[in-house]
Amino acid sequence: MNTTEKMLFQAALAALLIVVSASLSYAHFGVIMPSDDIVSKGDSKKIKLQIKFIHPFEGQYMQMQRPRAFGVVVNGRKHDLLPALKKKMVGGFSTWEAVYRIKGPGDHVFFVEPRPYWEPAEETFIIHYTKVIVDALDMEKGWDTEVGLKTEIVPLTRPYGIWAGNVFQGIVKVDGRPVPHAEVEVEYYNEGGRIKPPAAPYITQVIRADKNGVFTYAMPRAGWWGFAALSTADFRLKHEGKEYPVEIGAVIWVRTREMK
């Protein structure tokens, strides 16, 4: 093999590796996971919230800078919780934790806006605006409150007290407006890697919203389920002097339990 042939071979190999690495990149999900999603009168009023950026099914972590915003909406009022965040390293990756004390009844809509994550394999920045709802003291009111994030999933199904096998519905919105035919990725939080997928497509389920931005999914197993509605932002960000697109994701986490 002469020099020219070697150069062509190396270039082709490099291109192949890029394609393969891109195809093996799993879905990214922002996560807010509370220690409980329903706090009843006899329960402890303190809940711990874990905030991280991971591949939920695979259990692979990514670095997460200190979020730009973290808070909760209760009874229509927004509260800043950013000062309560503490860094926690997991396997060399930065995650965040906070302890919050429930002070009264009403659904608590916790949310986080992370700093942009640069994904070199896709040459894209990623920002996942993430929510989870905790029911407090049996009031069951406020679970469909809109936080006002850049992009957001507004639940149509009450996002707690859900049996495995139930259907979950939500509306995907960007700038407060429904997104027709939005793509929604769905993943199970496969804690401990107990579930072994028979093939790669089983890891991330992919569905489309209808023309009104409404999506529907039946969750077949007990545990935490993440829904990430992906859009391209109307702005770009710079990396090393060059502008790149930004993937914005509206993420919501929902817990199911087995009927026993």
**What end-to-end distance do the CA atoms of the chain give, in Å?**
68
> Which uninterrupted H or E stretch holds 237?
strand 237-239
SS3 38: strand
d(CA 94, CA 103): 29
Whether 10 has a pLDDT exceeding 80, the answer reads no
Query: Whole-prediction pTM value?
Result: 0.89
Rounded to 10 degrees, what is the CA torsion of 38, 41, 45, 51? 0
pLDDT tens track for 141-186 = 999 999 999 999 999 999 999 999 999 999 999 999 999 999 999 9
130: Cα separation from own chain's centroid: 5
Whether 7 has a pLDDT exceeding 90, the answer reads no
CATH assignment of 27-257, among 2.60.40.10, 2.40.50.140, 3.40.50.1980, 3.40.50.300 = 2.60.40.10
Looking at residue 17, what is its pLDDT? 33
Name the residue ranges covered by the structural domains of the chain.
Answer: 27-257
Instruction: Characterize the bridge pairing of strands 38-39 and 124-136.
Output: parallel
In this prediction, residue 1 has a pLDDT band, given cuts at 50, 70 and 90, of low
Query: What does the buried/exposed string (b/e) look like for 229-260 if buried means 16 or more CB atoms within 10 Å of the residue's CB?
Result: bbbebeeeeeeeeeebebbbbbbbbbbbeeee
> Which uninterrupted H or E stretch holds 167?
strand 167-174
Residue 202's φ and ψ, nearest 5 degrees, are: -75, -15
Query: What does the buried/exposed string (b/e) look like for 144-155 if buried means 16 or more CB atoms within 10 Å of the residue's CB?
Result: bbebebbbbbbb
